[in-house]
A = this chain, B = another copy of it.
Amino acid sequence: MARPDGRAPDQLRPVTITRNWLRHAEGSALIEFGDTRVLCAASVEEGVPRWRRGTGEGWVTAEYAMLPRSTDTRGARESVKGKIGGRTHEISRLVGRSLRAVIDFKAMGENTITLDCDVLQADGGTRTAAITGAYVALVDAMKWLRRQRKLKNNPLTGSVSAISVGIIQGQPRLDLNYLEDSVAQTDMNVVVTGEGAFVEVQGTAESEPFDRAALDRLLDLAVGGCTDLAAMQKKALSG
Question: Which A residues form the contact surface with B (CB < 8 A)?
Answer: 22-25, 28, 35, 39, 41, 43, 45, 63, 65, 67-74, 77-90, 92-93, 97, 101, 114, 116, 118, 120-121, 123, 158, 188, 193, 195, 197-205, 208-212, 215, 219
The answer to whether A68 touches B79 (Cβ under 8 A) is: no
Q: 11 A–B contact pairs at CB < 8 A? A: A22-B121, A23-B123, A24-B121, A28-B69, A43-B74, A45-B74, A83-B83, A86-B93, A101-B209, A200-B205, A212-B219
A202 lies within 8 A of B205 (CB): no
A209 contact set on B, CB distance < 8 A: 101, 158, 193, 195, 197-199
Q: Which residues of B contact A82 (CB under 8 A)?
A: 82-83
Q: State whether A97 and B204 are in contact (beta carbons under 8 Å apart), knowing that A22-B69, A43-B68, A63-B80 are contacts in the complex.
A: yes
Partner among B74, B90, B121, B210 whose Cβ is within 8 Å of the Cβ of A86:
B90
Is there contact, CB below 8 Å, between B198 and A215? yes
Closest 4 CB pairs of A and B: A197-B209, A86-B89, A78-B79, A41-B69
A123 to B, closest residue via Cβ: B23
Minimum Cβ distance to chain B for residue A212 (Å): 7
